Structure 1
Amino acid sequence: MAVVLDPVLAEVLACPAPDHGSLRVGTPEDPAADALTCESCGRIYPVEDGIPVLLLDEAVTPNADGGAESPQT
């Protein structure tokens, strides 16, 4: 199910990383994913129960070969 965000909230949300950018709904592989992707650094943040989890520790980070690295636990 795709994430549905209030348009005002969508405008103010941004990636918390130093190289932050605006966030878009979904992932590059799945535009309907329950996630938000930074348009600048490519980090993917989960959306749980309709709430974006904008924590760097929870983000999936893209790696050099185009894949992604899961958050460390």
Structure 2
Amino acid sequence: MINQELLAILACPKCKGPVRLNAQEDGLICETCALLFKIRDGIPIMLIDEAEKIN
């Protein structure tokens, strides 16, 4: 689980837009860029090169 205070200040590294927790709570989604940033051991991996493209 990610800390809610951390979630409130995180932004997409590509567009600087907001990110939201996905339904499984194992990643952060940027709707604008259609990218999923995985969360590993409670730490969001906010690297564009490691993000997964979604729909």
Per the normalisation by structure 2, the TM-score is 0.82
Structure 2: distance between partners of 1:21 and 1:60: 17
The structure 1 segments of at least 4 consecutive aligned residues displaced by more than 3 Å after TM superposition are: none
Larger radius of gyration: 1
Structure with the bigger RCO (C-alpha within 8 Å, sep 6+) is 2
Q: Structure 1 unaligned segments of length 5 or more: list them.
A: 67-73
Q: Structure 2 unaligned segments of length 5 or more: list them.
A: none
Structure 1 or 2: larger strand share?
2
Per the normalisation by structure 1, the TM-score is 0.65
Paired residue for 2:20, among 24, 29, 40?
A: 24
Structure 1: distance between partners of 2:50 and 2:25: 16
* 1:49-64 superposed matches below 5 A: 49-62=41-54
- Residue identity (%): 36
SS at match of 1:37: strand
* CA root-mean-square deviation: 1.4
Structure 1: distance between partners of 2:2 and 2:25: 13
**Alignment coverage as a number of residue pairs:** 55
Structure 1 or 2: larger helix share?
2
